Chains A and B, each alone.
Chain A
């Protein structure tokens, strides 16, 4: 199935969890994930299953002041 991750179309296995998606993407370190406009708790990453057409945002901290 296809989903959108950080604005890009990506193919993921049917029934994949958010955590599995992050592993597939090679994400290391701590990230926060928003799924269809709802911010997920860290603990939910392993349980929440991604659905066809989901829009996911994966964010992290970067340098910034104001």
Chain B
């Protein structure tokens, strides 16, 4: 099954990190991605630019309404994702728990609907 691992965290906390901490986290992400790829479960993934760069579009009555900012203002923001393919939820949970941000933010696991 394929699962999206959505990485949520407080962007402010991220901005408050020292350069060394950021470097260590980035390195941890690099190692995680390598391990995930080596296992054969990796189907995609990326870090996302901060929500300050987000644009939201809605089409109503055929008209596109474009607004600045994310869909919803929340305490934790979507900061990146991985798409993985594993046998079951338990394995997805195992990979989610290994994402470096899981130690301070949260990882939402969403199964893909199989068609």
Is this pair of chains taken from one and the same complex?
A: no
